[in-house]
Amino acid sequence: MRRVSIVALAGIALWPATSQPAAAASFALTEREQQEAIRLGRRSVVSEAFGQEWTSRNGAGDTLAVVTPFHRLAQAARIAAFKKEPLKPREIGAVLKTTAGKLTLWVTLRGGQSDFARFLEPVLLDGKTEVKPSFVQNERTALRGEDGRYAARCLYVFPAARLDPRGRFTLVIRDPDEKEMSKFTVDLSAMR
C-alpha cells in the first residue's frame, strides 16, 4: 500500500510539469494552476521554447505575445529562477492582482514612418461582437531597423469578463480611418 501511495504521489508531482498546453486560458488562477505556472517558470530556465505557446507572427512579420495570468506568473517564476531566488508569496500576489480579469496583448508592428503606430486602434472580434480594450498604449516613436522599416511595441489590455477562455478571437488593429493595419488570430483554448 505504501509503495502504491509513493508511486501515485510521484505521478501527481510530475504530471503538471509537462510542457503541454492546458485546455484553455484562465483569467483567475486556481491554487493548482498557480503551482503549475511557478513550476513551469522555474524549469524553463533551460528551455529556449519557453513562451512559444503564447506568441505568434502574422504574414506581415508583426508579432503578438499573449500575456495570460498563467503566462505572467510563469515569467515571474522564471526571472526568480534566473536570479536563483524563490518567488515570494508577496510577488505571487502582486502578479495575480495585476493580471486577474485581464487579457494583455503585446504587439510589435512594423511600418514605414516613426510615428505610424501612434493612433492605431485595436479590437477583438469573435465573429459576432467586438470587444474594445480597456487600455491602449501605442509606441509614439518607433525604432528604425536595419531594413529602414520601423518597429513599434504596442500594449493592449482587454477585459476578460466578455471573453470565453476557450474562445478563438481575431485581433484587428486599424488606423483612425478604419483601415486594417494588422491582424492576428488569438486562440485562448491553446494557451494556459
The predicted pLDDT at position 23 comes to 53
The predicted pLDDT at position 108 comes to 98
The predicted pLDDT at position 24 comes to 65
192 Cβ neighbours under 8 A, 6+ residues apart: 21, 22, 25, 26, 33, 36, 37, 53, 68, 70, 71
- Hey, where are the domains in the chain? 23-190
Residues of the chain with pLDDT under 70: 1-24
State the average pLDDT for the chain.
Answer: 86
The predicted pLDDT at position 7 comes to 35
The predicted pLDDT at position 186 comes to 94
Query: Looking at the chain, which runs of residues are DSSP E strands?
Result: 55-57, 63-67, 102-111, 121-125, 130-131, 135-137, 143-144, 150-159, 168-174, 180-187
The predicted pLDDT at position 133 comes to 98
pLDDT of 19-65, one tens digit each?
444 456 778 899 999 999 999 999 988 877 777 788 999 999 999 99
